[in-house]
Amino acid sequence: MNLYEQKWNELADIKDELAQRDWFMGTSGNLAIKVSDTSSHFYVTASGKDKKQRTNEDFLLVNLEGLPVEDTNLKPSAETLLHSAIYRQSNAGCSLHVHTVANNVISELYGENGQVEFQDQELIKAFDLWEEDAVLTIPIINNYASIPRLAEAFKEHINSDKGAVLIRNHGITVWGRNGFEAKKLLEASEFLFQYKLKLLQLTGGKN
């Protein structure tokens, strides 16, 4: 198996796992993986597909401008520019975007603050925050209809090879050095969102 096939399969396996969690409702979500650390090409999901299905047309290869680099009828994800921004500004190798009810509700509850914080929660260690009083801050940006405008707002928050950004009433985009790390951060974020919502429900909004 060559490198391209390996990366295709890695992304397809991640897609299957996220689909099992039902994180691709209504064709939402998009995923990307770099072909190698030194390449400026990455696979991205084709736009508008049912990401719960596994097919030979799930991904296409694009450059850092988000343009296909091979002959194809497939259209790159409408949100490819966000993935491009990650690979331009960091050494990340994989980026994942999903819409869930939990990430949408959290983004709306804390949208005016421009960020949501998590403290005293074991799972913030997924973001390498090991200190006892460490705080995980996830930025929340407006859901601009113009994708170039959205990408501009998103770029401000890419300052590490791994991270997460919430898009208000839209979804979350996470990135990591590889597929394993990106999936770990996505799962940890969704755990934290679900935990906070549950706690808010049980305490009548006092947390």
| 26 near ligand L4RZE5RM (CB under 6 A) | yes
Nearer to ligand L4RZE5RM, 33 or 124 (CB): 33
Using DSSP, state whether 4 is helix, strand or coil. helix
Length of the chain, in residues: 207
Contact criterion met (CB below 8 Å) for 77 and 44: yes
Q: What are the tokens at 123? A: 């799972």
Residue 143 interacting with ligand L4RZE5RM (CB under 6 A):
no
Q: Which stretch binds Zn ion (CB under 5 A): 17-25, 37-45, 170-178, 188-196?
A: 170-178
Which one of 10, 19, 28, 109 is in contact with ligand L4RZE5RM (CB under 6 A)?
Answer: 28
Query: Cβ–Cβ contacts within 10 Å for residue 194, how many?
Result: 16
Interatomic CA distance for residues 70 and 1, integer angstroms? 20
In whole angstroms, what is the distance from residue 101 CA to residue 109 CA? 12
**DSSP string covering 14-68, please?**
HHHHHHHTT--GGG--EEEEES-SS-S-EEEEBTT--TTS--TTSEEEE-TTS-B
Contact 28, 49 (CB under 8 A): no
Q: Which does 142 bind (CB under 5 to 8 A by kind): ligand L4RZE5RM, Zn ion, none?
A: none
User: Which residue stretch of 44-52, 87-95, 122-130, 176-184 sits at the interface with ligand L4RZE5RM (rule: CB under 6 A)?
Assistant: 44-52
* Cα–Cα dist 55/206, whole Å: 46
DSSP secondary-structure letter at 12? H
Q: Quick one: which of 39, 40, 47, 169 contacts ligand L4RZE5RM (CB under 6 A)? A: 47
For Zn ion, the closer of residues 137 and 143 by Cβ is 143
121 binds, among Zn ion, ligand L4RZE5RM, none (CB under 5 to 8 A by kind): none
Residues annotated within the binding site for Zn(2+) are 97, 99
Among the residue ranges 60-68, 82-90, 120-128, 165-173, the one whose residues contact Zn ion (CB under 5 A): 165-173
Site string for ligand L4RZE5RM, 57-96 (x = CB under 6 A): --------------------xxx-----------------
Residue 3 lies near ligand L4RZE5RM (rule: CB under 6 A): no
Q: How do 135-141 and 42-45 pair as beta strands?
A: unpaired
- Can you give the binding site for ligand L4RZE5RM, defined by CB under 6 A? 26-30, 45, 47-48, 77-79, 97
